[in-house]
Amino acid sequence: MGSILNQIKKDSFKNGSKVQSADSAKLEGILNKMFYLDKNIEEETKFVRTVMTRGLESQERVGLHASAIIDKGDKSFCVRQQVLSLLFKQLQGEQLPVNTMRIFEEGNAIHEKWQRLLIRAGYAKSQTLDRTRFDDEYKMSFTPDIVCRIPEFYDGAMVGEIKSMNSFSFKKQSEHASGKKQLYLYMYELIKQAKLKGTWNGKDYLKGFVLMDSKNDQEFKVCVYDYDEDIVSPYVDRLEEIKYRYDKFIKEGKMVKRCNGCTSPDCKLAEKCFMKDACWNVGMGRIRI
């Protein structure tokens, strides 16, 4: 039976059709119904205003972000880069080309569409969507796209990530790899924070989903996941090492060595590194934050 199911899945990926879990199909059905609801003008407008004005005091990227923890494989992940980001200003990058800006703007619109629909359905509130949170232990910020409650699907709060994709990638991929990693790290963080506050009920954030939206034709699919400590543990290990190396620098002034292959400020690895100036003490140098 297992080999038959595997062959069905393999064939479905070739022709672009979907093989879903019962959970994914059920959640998709619930989300589809949101499109028939009347707009909640007051709450949706409040959300849009909140998102557009959030962080206006500074657009500068500072500190450790969850995306950096899951962004690279073990060979290319640089602990030194992340420790430096907790201490010094980072390069903000050059102005992006207009085609990239158009893609980002379209992605923002797709995020807003789903977030407004969740508000419209009463599954989420403006303060639970796209809100940046902070882990004091690891000095890390993280921003889940969605924290919601859909009682007809799951008896607890869920975490959700929205990923816009072109139609080719949408049909080819059965799941979104980086979105899945983000989701598990966010589930871990939200459970951790709820436990620290004494508000965790044993159900919240144990289930989450990645919503993939095909921006060419507005098709979408959902992958539902149950929390798994084994999946998130490599990223927690990274956070623990960053914390250890940061404390060692603060107490002893000893900085972790550069990653293998980073041999000069002009090498390929350094050219792509947002902490290059602080790492090699070039350019703007080491400006404490």
The yes-or-no verdict on residue 179 having pLDDT over 50 is: yes
Residue in the structure block whose two tokens are 């940046």 = 132
Entry pTM: 0.88
Q: What are the tens digits of pLDDT across the range 195-223?
A: 999 999 999 999 999 999 998 899 999 99
The yes-or-no verdict on residue 4 having pLDDT over 60 is: no
pLDDT bin (cut points 50, 70, 90) of residue 1 is very low
Q: What are the tens digits of pLDDT across the range 23-32?
A: 999 999 999 9
- Helix, coil or strand: residue 10: helix
Q: What is the pLDDT of residue 96?
A: 64
Query: Which residues touch 227 (CB under 8 Å, ≥6 apart)?
Result: 184, 187, 188, 191, 205, 206, 207, 208
Q: What is the pLDDT of residue 14?
A: 45
Domains and CATH numbers, the chain: 21-40+61-280 (3.90.320)
The yes-or-no verdict on residue 119 having pLDDT over 50 is: yes
Q: How many CB atoms lie within 10 A of CB 134?
A: 13
What mean pLDDT is predicted for residues 146-174?
Answer: 96
Among left, alpha and beta (phi > 0; psi -120 to 50; other), residue 94 is: beta
